[in-house]
């Protein structure tokens, strides 16, 4: 939104609204996610980036995932200060495993005539052909694959993707992962400055990632959505 008119830039210019979609498990959200969204937003002139925490991340069923409501709230806290960042509940409210093809269809239905840009790290992009309904994905959105330390951006898997539907983009290297944040928390190491301050406080307040934590895993809710 601009301060003068309250309109998003796309509406002012009479062009189609450009909506970035940053999907992730966000357990927890960290500065790598935020930098990726900000960089893509700036490069592509996006009017908004909507962060979409997954409901049930089916490719992560081999591990514990925190409840959707905690991951949603952390995403709200982390993005609150940026007027162009928003958070959607579409994935945590849809029952069953989360598929991006459904995320994009739901957002199209909610938002109407917008251009979608799905933002993904190099690791996730390399696996995109394993996603449900992969053949439909590129009709729904343009995919922006961002660099991630330790992962080849232009991997052999990416060569099979439609070139006019993806853009590969270098972003400032943030060698941060949610796995590392969880492990550091478990072993009592600090996570200050790897995640926004409010996330350090939320993790502590809710006792997330602590040994013996009895939070229900998201997988305990399979088929029921988050809650
Ligand atoms: N440091 C980073 N730099 C660039 N992209 C990232 C970074 N961390 C995560 N991403 C991308 O953000 C999206 C959501 O990531 P996700 O929530 O799974 O975080 P993660 O750090 O990879 O989590 P985990 O360690 O639990 O697997 C994915 O597309 C992922 O590739
Ligand atoms: O659609 C799928 O089958 C699919 C499989 C794996 C991941 N995704 C999406 O990719 C994004 C990043 O996922 P993740 O597991 O790396 O946090 C998130 O929006 C997921 O819903 C989607």
Give the pLDDT confidence of 3-24 residue by residue, as tens digits.
Answer: 433 345 555 567 899 999 999 9
CA 117/CA 177 separation, integer angstroms: 22
| Backbone dihedral angles phi then psi of residue 20, each to the nearest 5 degrees | -80, 145
Query: Above 0.95 for ipTM, yes or no?
Result: yes
Regarding the beta carbon of 27 and ligand 1, being less than 6 Å apart is answered yes
Residue 1 has a pLDDT of 41
- pTM, two decimal places: 0.92
Q: Which atom of ligand 2 is nearest to the CA of 131?
A: 3
Residue nearest to ligand 2 atom 9, measured at CA: 100
Domain ranges of the chain: 17-174
- Distance from the alpha carbon of residue 124 to the mean position of ligand 1, in angstroms: 8
Could you report the per-residue pLDDT of 187-213, keeping only the tens digit for each? 999 999 999 999 999 999 999 999 766
Could you report the per-residue pLDDT of 52-87, keeping only the tens digit for each? 999 999 999 999 999 999 999 999 999 999 999 999
To the nearest 10 degrees (0 to 180), the angle between helices 197-206 and 68-79 is 150
The architecture that CATH gives domain 17-174 is 3-Layer(aba) Sandwich (3.40)
């Amino acid at each position: 939104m601009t301060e003068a008119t309250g309109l998003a830039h796309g509406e002012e210019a009479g062009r189609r609204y450009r909506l970035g979609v940053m999907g992730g498990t966000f357990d927890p959200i960290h500065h790598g996610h935020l930098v990726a969204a900000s960089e893509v937003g700036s490069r592509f002139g996006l009017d908004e980036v909507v962060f979409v925490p997954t409901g049930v991340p089916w490719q992560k069923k081999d591990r514990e995932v925190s409840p959707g409501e905690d991951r949603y709230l952390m995403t709200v806290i982390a993005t609150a200060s940026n007027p162009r960042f928003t958070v959607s509940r579409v994935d945590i409210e849809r029952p069953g495993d989360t598929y991006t093809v459904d995320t994009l269809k739901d957002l199209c239905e909610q938002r109407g005539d917008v251009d979608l840009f799905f933002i993904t790290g190099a690791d996730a992009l390399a696996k995109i052909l394993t996603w449900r309904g992969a053949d439909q994905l590129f009709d729904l959105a343009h995919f922006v694959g961002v660099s991630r330390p330790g992962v080849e951006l232009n991997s052999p898997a990416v060569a099979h993707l439609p070139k006019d539907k993806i853009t590969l983009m270098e972003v400032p290297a943030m060698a941060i992962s949610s796995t590392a944040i969880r492990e550091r928390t478990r072993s009592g190491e600090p996570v200050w400055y790897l995640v926004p301050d409010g996330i350090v406080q939320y993790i502590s307040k809710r006792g997330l990632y602590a040994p013996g934590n009895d939070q229900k895993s998201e997988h305990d809710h399979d088929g029921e959505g988050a809650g």
